[in-house]
Amino acid sequence: MPSILLNPRASSVPRWLIPAERAVAGIEALFDRAFGSAENPLHQLGALSFYLFWIVAASGIYVYAFFDTSVAGAYRSVEALTHQQWYLGGVMRSLHRYGSDAFVLTMAAHLLREFVKGRWHGFRWFSWLTGVPLIWLVYASGLGGYWLVWDELAQFSVIATAEWLDWLPIFGEPIVHNFIGRGATTDRFFSLLIFLHIGIPLLLLLLMWIHIYRLSHARTNPTRQLGLAVFAALLLLSLFKPALSGGPANLDAVSSALDLDWIYMFAHPLMYLRSPGFLWVATAGFTLLLALLPLLPRPRPEPKAEVDLDHCNGCSRCFDDCPYVAITMVPRSDGAPHLRQAQVDPELCASCGICAGACPSSTPFRTQAQLKTGIDLPRNSVQALRAKLEAALEELAGAAPVVVFGCDHAVPVTALCATNTACISLPCAGMLPPSFVDYALRNGADGVLVTGCGAGNCNFRLGNQWLVERLEGKREPRLRPAVDRERVRVEWFDRHQGAELSGALAQFRAALPARPLAPEGREMFWKERRKTEEPGRDESSD
């Protein structure tokens, strides 16, 4: 039975990462069952990081309003806020502390998830590379916040950091001398800390915006339900386990028992366990590894989307739907007044085909022998999709076929092929124009099953979402209201969920109502169609 792949591309995940990718997919599946796909926090890690940044910023502004910027007053003012105003100031301080920890955790999980999914090369290099400095800005800001409390933990952290910096032969006098002995630290130090603790987050916010600059419809807020749940969890933690200071800093003594925040301060014990030089090598090596990942060997890039000006009407649907800001609308190059045309930036194009699925000219009902569309992929054209769909329907005309449209980055649909199933794999499920579903059903298919990457996990970010909205009539181009929805099903499964997809196909086939046209009638339909086809006839649409 036909299994048709439109020039399938190599996976973006290197082979050595596949076990890790499979493990992450398994964890995501558990979270899906626990929270539901729409509320799965692992699908919203980037949005959660933005959300937590604003929680930390808002609580930090409140704490700053009561902070005394001096050696003598810093510790005292934080203690007064924590205990004398525990009902609000103490809660705000705790929200600031726990929100900062959660920010690091979501950032680290986001980095790990994107890494194991191979999303660090090709058109994604910019987002990956701009994310690297964010790691160290978050840590610099967080440690500076601990120092402002000026308790024993702050003393330990600032001295450990000074000893680490002193390993570099660039300072005339050791920095650590500023923190040895009573009176060594002045009010100017706290003025500098406040400046950095405000300035670094502002720089962090700027780089976070740059980080998502090449993403359209970037998600910077979690769903309302998830956002409320996260805030409630942080609030409850702040009420039942408030953040407290240790004893006041005493530069004449060294504390031996400290309650470390291992999320922010894990590097200090590591340095004392090994050496400052070892920590510098580890930090620089980790940063360099992340920065150089986009340069590693990767699959050969696919040809980029191309615009056919003769068929582009300037509707801007491709511009609206492109996940990576690769399409802009510009004045027409053919001089047509008051009209625009799409223009593709090859450096940003992901070759996902979502733009072709959005184009109003991408309909198989057009009677051109050679179907031309306003925007298309050179190696994965809409014309090739129509030709292969027709070939599959004709071959299976007597078998009451179900057509399965799959995705190159999800479950390989070739495993579903049978004498009554036609399988067609696309670069992304979002490339499928809704009219192809209608076309398949009108031309002999009993049902159409569309599948792709797991829910909330589209390899090209928005392909799944756009396809669902088109099929539900919420986004152009829409599936005709007259199409029998009982014969159309959408199922999302990750690459390693082949058994689940097979089960979904079997359930779908069993639920299909009987068709009025018998298999013999469908065979006759295709025979008559071949007799009457006239290549090259005038273009029209259904």
3-state secondary structure 258-310: CCCCHHHHCHHHHHHHCCHHHHHHHHHHHHHHHHHHHHCCCCCCCCCCEECHH
pTM over 0.85: yes
Residue 419 has pLDDT above 90, yes or no: no
pLDDT in tens, 375-396: 999 999 999 999 999 998 888 8
Is 398 or 458 the better-scoring residue by pLDDT?
458
Confidence band for 349, pLDDT divided at 50, 70 and 90: very high
What stretch of H or E contains 423? Answer: strand 421-426
How many CB atoms are located within 10 Å of the residue 177 CB?
11
Tokens of 73: 């007053």
pLDDT in tens, 149-200: 999 999 999 999 999 999 998 887 888 888 887 777 888 999 999 999 999 9
Residue 3 has pLDDT above 70, yes or no: no
Residue 521 has pLDDT above 90, yes or no: no
Q: Which DSSP string corresponds to 473-492?
A: TSSSSPPPTTS-GGGEEEEE
CA 490 to chain centre: 21
pLDDT at 429: 95
pLDDT at 519: 55
Exposure of 505 by Cβ count < 10 A (0-12 exposed, 13-18 middle, 19+ buried)?
A: buried
3-state class of 202 per DSSP?
helix
The fraction of the chain above a pLDDT of 90, given in percent, is: 71
Confidence band for 539, pLDDT divided at 50, 70 and 90: very low
CA 457 to chain centre: 8
Residue 328 has pLDDT above 50, yes or no: yes
pLDDT at 136: 96
Lowest mean pLDDT segment, chosen from 2-11, 302-311, 473-482? 2-11
Task: Tell me phi and psi for residue 448, to 5 degrees.
Answer: -130, 125
Mean pLDDT across the stretch 528-533? 58
3-state class of 248 per DSSP?
strand
Region of residue 473 (left: phi > 0; alpha: psi -120 to 50; beta: else):
left
Q: Nearest CA to 7 among 313, 379, 403, 346?
A: 379
pLDDT in tens, 77-126: 999 999 999 889 999 999 999 999 999 999 999 999 999 998 998 899 99
Tokens of 137: 């800005």
pLDDT at 9: 58
The interaxial angle of helices 71-83 and 187-211, nearest 10 deg, is 60
pLDDT at 7: 56
Residue 337 has pLDDT above 80, yes or no: no
Could you tell me the fold of the domain covering 44-158+186-258?
Answer: Cytochrome Bc1 Complex; Chain C (1.20.810)
pLDDT at 449: 96
Residue 305 has pLDDT above 50, yes or no: yes
Residue 527 has pLDDT above 80, yes or no: no
Residue 537 has pLDDT above 50, yes or no: no
Confidence band for 363, pLDDT divided at 50, 70 and 90: very high
Confidence band for 481, pLDDT divided at 50, 70 and 90: very high
Mean pLDDT across the stretch 397-423? 87
pLDDT at 522: 57
pLDDT at 5: 52
Question: What is the rounded average pLDDT for all residues in the chain?
Answer: 90
Confidence band for 11, pLDDT divided at 50, 70 and 90: low
pLDDT at 540: 40
Q: Where would I find the H helices in 4-124?
A: 18-35, 45-65, 71-83, 91-116
Could you tell me the fold of the domain covering 363-532?
Answer: Rossmann fold (3.40.50)
pLDDT at 37: 84
Rounded CA gap, 458 and 374, in Å?
25
Residue 52 has pLDDT above 60, yes or no: yes
Domain coordinates of the chain in residue numbers? 44-158+186-258, 363-532
pLDDT at 29: 86
Is 447 or 339 the better-scoring residue by pLDDT?
447
pLDDT at 538: 42
Rounded CA gap, 523 and 517, in Å?
10
pLDDT at 517: 55
